[in-house]
């Protein structure tokens, strides 16, 4: 929800974005063929999209379970209001933490954590999370089933 200038993206830019969200390694030549553009024109537009921050990065989406991160946990972290930003920055630097947001609603932080198994989760909770000053209450939930998980658009 940061400030931003009104960036001009036309229909062609949108088509390029859709293709790259769908396949981040599609060659500029292939994109060009689909959109009746030259490879150079595509590259120029993509570079523009990167320069103004519309494309943040290209990435490979890795299945966390298959690389041993078998437990996905969501946390609601209640903080003393005055400590919230400091706690959030502290948690954001923790390698187990995949994301950390401040939301409307209660004065909690919403946090996603990926760990290998329950002993690692218990250790993360008791040794890393509960050890932070300014945390007053924590609520944790474990992922049971994923119905949709769109990648490519930043939450």
Considering only residues 97 to 126 of the shown chain, the ones binding its own copies according to CB under 8 A are: 97-107, 109-110, 112, 114, 118-119, 121-122, 125-126
25 makes contact with its own copies (CB under 8 A): yes
Measured CA to CA, the distance from residue 86 to residue 77 in angstroms comes to 13
- Nearer to its own copies by Cβ, of 41 and 78: the residue is 78
Q: Residues 77, 138: contact at Cβ < 8 Å? A: yes
**Chain center to CA of 57:** 11
Give the bridge partners for 109, in sequence order.
Answer: 77, 102
Give 36: exposed, middle or buried? Use CB within 10 Å, 0-12, 13-18, 19+. Answer: exposed
Measured CA to CA, the distance from residue 6 to residue 116 in angstroms comes to 42
**Chain center to CA of 55:** 13
Query: Could you say which residues in the range 44-83 bind its own copies, by CB under 8 A?
Result: 52-67, 69-74, 78, 80-82
29 makes contact with its own copies (CB under 8 A): no
Q: How far is the CB of 38 from its own copies (least distance, A)?
A: 19
Q: How far is the CB of 36 from its own copies (least distance, A)?
A: 21
Q: How far is the CB of 109 from its own copies (least distance, A)?
A: 7
1 makes contact with its own copies (CB under 8 A): yes
23 makes contact with its own copies (CB under 8 A): yes
């Amino acid at each position: 929800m940061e400030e931003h200038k009104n960036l001009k993206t036309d229909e062609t830019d949108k088509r390029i974005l859709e293709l790259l969200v769908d396949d981040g390694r599609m060659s500029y030549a292939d994109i060009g063929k689909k959109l009746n553009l030259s490879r150079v024109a595509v590259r120029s537009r993509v570079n523009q999209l990167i320069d103004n921050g519309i494309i943040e990065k290209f990435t490979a989406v890795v299945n966390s379970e298959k690389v041993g991160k078998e437990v996905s946990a969501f946390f609601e972290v209640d903080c003393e209001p005055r400590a919230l930003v400091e706690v959030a920055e502290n948690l954001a630097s923790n390698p187990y933490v995949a994301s950390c947001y401040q939301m409307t609603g209660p004065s909690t932080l919403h946090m996603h954590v990926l760990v290998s198994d329950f002993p690692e989760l218990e250790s993360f909770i008791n040794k890393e999370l509960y050890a932070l000053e300014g945390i007053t209450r924590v609520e944790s939930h474990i992922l049971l089933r994923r119905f949709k998980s769109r990648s490519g658009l930043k939450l």
